[in-house]
Structure 1
């Protein structure tokens, strides 16, 4: 068995198959006029994301619930339930993978590659943002006192963004991202003049 077939079967089970896009399957004779997933190019992005996340979470834990809302240029989804936080995975890696797949599904099925997708599970992202904001404030005080810049370890764009926002209006320090790709990191430095 080749891996493509197994992946196609799995994706089809999630309702995101692209098996033979040139010829959509004929509708069943007794089926209501439901549009196949492949013809969802004009479907509401929020509905596409919600359907995908509900399909995914129902296979992991049927007790999980999903809410999706549209904000500016992004869709934000919240997965809640007793065991939702476990979906974050180690250091949020599983959650990051869910976001990448959700973005891909949204781009493919709704034709909306311009929308960002943010997913939170059990408040993980919210707690992480609070922790990063507090770290930013502590480092800002340190940098302001010492007058020396402080370089953080490489971090994902979403985490850098939280720190940039936390320090945006700070009177004594400024933040800047440096480096490329996975090595991109943030530097907090004194604000001069």
Structure 2
């Protein structure tokens, strides 16, 4: 059995392999930049690309899962539903995060849209997580306002920090600030009258 063929077939089924379209790389003199119109014609509708990829992925995991993709203001938003959908989130949403990264890569490659964000939710996991973070933010805001001392949270992904920033944006007693770099970036909740 040829492992490459099996892998190519599997990846093609997921919509992330174009092994059939591969041609030998041209030598240096033959390389020329394609015309912009040719590039646009080669790319597919981003929503269709994302939906096809997620349907292919979920069909292999659990054929009973459903996929819907909608265009939001700044992102493509996909919802994977079904009786066992929540299990697809994985521990602490890690599997879901990996699915988003792969989906973004597929979108950038096949639709030529590296500027679009991709948000995927499974079984309402992201919504429940956002509700929990919003409640935590409100409790911490009350604590910070009473004590007059800033509270620094553990490092967290940008999407989670964003939920807290939004939850406390209109709070008259506190302000939020993200500090740090990369995976160590964390959020600080400070009293509005907090000095430097």
TM-score of the superposed pair, with normalisation by structure 2: 0.84
RMSD of aligned alpha carbons: 2.3
Counterpart in the other structure of 1:135 = 136
Tell me, what secondary structure is at the counterpart of 1:120? strand
Tell me, what secondary structure is at the counterpart of 2:188? strand
Counterpart in the other structure of 2:124 = 123
Distance 1:133 1:40, change over 3 A: farther
**Number of residue equivalences:** 179
State yes or no: 1:177 paired with 2:178: yes
CA–CA separation in structure 2 for the residues paired with 1:64 and 1:46: 18
Gaps of 5+ in 2: 25-39
Q: Do the aligned partners of 1:41 and 1:108 also contact (CA within 8 Å) in 2?
A: no
TM-score of the superposed pair, with normalisation by structure 1: 0.86
Gaps of 5+ in 1: 25-38
CA displacement 1:42-67 (0-9 Å, x = unmatched): 31100100000000001100100000
Q: Which 4+ residue blocks in structure 1 deviate beyond 2 angstroms? A: 1-10, 18-24, 39-42
1:43-192 equivalences under 5 Å are 43-192=44-193
Tell me, what secondary structure is at the counterpart of 1:93? helix
Q: Do the aligned partners of 1:40 and 1:110 also contact (CA within 8 Å) in 2?
A: no
Distance 1:40 1:13, change over 3 A: farther
Q: Do the aligned partners of 1:73 and 1:114 also contact (CA within 8 Å) in 2?
A: no
CA–CA separation in structure 2 for the residues paired with 1:107 and 1:122: 25
Distance 1:178 1:4, change over 3 A: farther
